[in-house]
Amino acid sequence: MVDSLADPLLRVEKLVRRFGGITATDNLSLDVMSGELHAIIGPNGAGKTTLISQLTGQLAPNSGTIHFAGRDVTRQPAYRRSRLGLARSFQITSLLPDFSAIDNVAIAAQAHDGHSFRFWGNARKEIHLRDAARSALTRVGLEARADVPVSELSHGEQRELELAVALATKPQLLLLDEPMAGLGVTESARMVALLKELRREVTIVLVEHDMEAVFALADRITVLVYGRVIACDVPDAIRNNEEVKRAYLGDQHVVVAHV
């Protein structure tokens, strides 16, 4: 899927973000090609979530640029990037707790279906929004839980719902921040199977600690350490990269052992 001749869907150049004395994103450049599943790994504190937040617009970089689908989106607010086709899931589940599962998804579909300054008609009776929400729920296997309030869903179901919400915005690029976090073995396996299907339809940037999943899924892997890219290559090359092994120290065995 990696096509070096094509323009990247996402191009990050010389991104810098500091928090006080700490440089969480350190002159970071990154290209994500259309159609690839690009994993970002790195030890705790490597600045993965900080990077995702800058890509989606929740956090402004100190310097550097972000181009998405050929446009400079560096200064665009989060809601506008979402409209351009950039969707994210959150590392710590971030849903609408007072809403039912289907309402969570339907409102995401609503955000990308005309304007919402409509004050009179019952939004829950807009068939096309409900259908779009139902099909996103079906994709992640939550169709039977559509009317359950989010607060009553299990953690695993909430992770799946995060994904359904992102899918309902019909994204070109899906940024997934540790979708397996806190999932059990079977739940993780289901999530991997799901991502395997999704990658055929949408470009994905996957931040994940589960190395087994990363090496099974990724076309390319970028390794972050202290906010810097120390390697960016196909999984096999990353596995044998000396610098990556050094950075992970003990963790290198995890990397090698699981694959």
Partner 1 sequence: MTFPITPRNIVAALVVAGLLLLPLYSQLTGNIFILTLFTRIVIFALAASSLNLIMGYGGMMSFGHAAYLGIGGYAVGILAFEGIGSGFIQWPVALAVSALFALVIGALSLRTRGVYFIMITLAFAQMAYYIVSGMSRYGGDDGLTIYKRSNFGGLINLSNRVQFYYLCLGCLFGGLYLIWRIINSRFGLVVQGVRSNEQRMQAIGFHANRYRLVCFVIAGTICGLSGALLANNTDFVSPAVMYWTRSGDLMVMVILGGMGSLFGPVIGAIVYLVLEELLSQFTEYWAMIMGPLLLLIVLFARGGIMGLLGRLRLG
Binding site for partner 1 (CB under 8 A): 56-58, 77-80, 82-83, 87-88, 90, 94-99, 103, 107-108, 110-112, 116-124, 126, 165, 168-169
Q: Given the complex with partner 1, which of 83 and 258 has the nearer CB atom?
A: 83
Q: Smaller CB distance to partner 1: residue 54 or 82? A: 82
Output the smallest distance, CB 123 to partner 1, in A: 4
- CB of 79 or CB of 147, closer to partner 1: 79
As measured in angstroms, the least distance from the Cβ of 115 to partner 1 is 8
Pairing of β 63-68 and β 71-72 = antiparallel
**Closest CB to partner 1 among residues 90, 248:** 90
- Looking at the Cβ atoms of 118 and 258, the one nearer to partner 1 is 118
Q: How far is the CB of 118 from partner 1 (least distance, A)?
A: 4
CB of 149 to partner 1, least distance (A): 11
Residue (105 or 211) nearer to partner 1, CB: 105
User: How far is CA 218 from each of CA 7, 29, 86, 247, rounded to the nearest angstrom?
Assistant: 19, 19, 19, 20
Residue 192 C-beta-side C-alpha neighbours within 13 Å = 18
